Chains A and B, each alone.
Chain A
Amino acid sequence: MRRAALALLLAPLIALAAAAQPQSGFELMAPETQAMQRDDTANPGMLWVQEGEALWQQSGCAGCHGDAAASMRGAAARYPVYDEARAGPIDLAGRINQCRVERQGAPALALEGEPLLALGSFVAHQSRGLPVAPPADPRLAPARAQGEALFRERRGQLNLSCAQCHDDNAGRRLAGSPIPQGHPNGYPLYRLEWQGMGSLQRRLRNCMAGVRSEPFAYGAPEYIAIETFLMSRAAGLLLETPAVRP
C-alpha cells in the first residue's frame, strides 16, 4: 500500500526525468528478464556472440581488423555512418557485407540470416557499455531528417506513427505491455517472443505490421534513415548488445 502510494508520488517525477533524457527499454522489463540480460551465462544472445566470434576468426575478419575487442570497440556506438560509395548512411550489417564483397571477394551474407546476425552481435558486443555517440557529420543530416519524418508519419490501417506510441505514450501501457521509448541501443537483440536473435530492422517491421502497414524490404534505405534518426534520439544511452527483450 505504502509502496503504491510512493509510486504514485514518484510517477510524475519519473515521467519528467524520462522526457529529459532517454530511457532504455531495459528499465521497463520484469526483474527476471533484466536478470537474464545481465548474466552472460543466462543471456541467450551470448550464443550468437560466440558464434560471431568463431565467424570473425574463420572468415578472415581478424586478418585486417585484428583483435575485435580493440578494433571494433565503439563501432556500434557510432553507426550508421556516412558512406561515400552509397552516398548515404550505411548500417553495421551493411558495412559487414560491403567489407565481404569488396575487400574479401566473398558473397554477401543474407540479411537477417544467422551468420550475419552472429557477426553483427559479436561486433556490436564490443561496444557494450559505451554511450551511443552518433557522428556530427552534416552529410547524415538528410537521412536523419528523412528518418524523423518517417518516425512522425502516420502509417497503416491503424493510422499510427511511431511517435504516437514511443514519444507521446512511452512509459504507459499498451494492453499488458509497457511502451518503451523505442531506442536502438541493444541490437541485434534476443527477443523472447521471437525465441531468437533479430536486428533493428526486424523490430521495425514488427511494429509496421502491428499498425497494419506494409513493411519495407530488409535493407531498405528507409530503415537505415530511421536508424540514423533513432541513434541521434538515443544519444548518450549505453549500448547493451546482446540485449534481451520480452
Chain B
Amino acid sequence: MARTLINLPRNPKRGEVIEIRTLIQHGMETGYRPGPNGVTQQRDIIRSFTCLFNNEEVFRAELHQAIAANPFLEFSMLVTESGILAFTWSGDNGFEQTETRALTVA
C-alpha cells in the first residue's frame, strides 16, 4: 500500500467551492531510463486518477511519463451535500489504490 496524503477543508458550507489536494507515494518510473545494469527499466507509472463523490465522478486525470514521482494533484469541487469522497489511483503492473474520506457539510 502506497502512502497517501489527502487534504480536505474540515467543515465546508453548502455551495462553497473547496480545494482538494492529494499526494501519493509512487516512483513513476518512465520506462526510458536505463537501470544500474544498463537495461532500460520497465515503465511503472500511475495512469489515471479519479475522484468520486457519492459514486458520482467529480474529477479525473490521466497521468503520463513526464509527471514527477509522488504525484501531487489539486482540484476544486462544489459542495452540495455531505457524502463520501473516493480517490482511486490506478496504473501499470496492476497498481490500484482507493482511499475514502467523509465530507461533512457544516
Contacts and interface: CB of A to CB of B under 8 A. Distances in A.
Interface residues of B, number: 15
Nearest to B69: A195
A47 B69 contact: no
Interface in B19-59: 21, 23-25, 27-28
Interface residues of A, number: 12
A47 B23 contact: yes
Contacts, number: 36
B3 A47 contact: yes
A41 B3 contact: no
B7 A196 contact: no
A50 B70 contact: no
Contacts of A47: 3-5, 23-25, 70
A50 B69 contact: no
A51 B7 CA distance: 17
A42 interface: yes
Given A50-B5, A51-B25, 18 more contacts: A40-B5, A41-B21, A42-B21, A42-B23, A42-B72, A44-B23, A47-B3, A47-B5, A47-B23, A47-B24, A47-B70, A50-B3, A51-B3, A195-B28, A195-B68, A195-B70, A196-B27, A196-B70
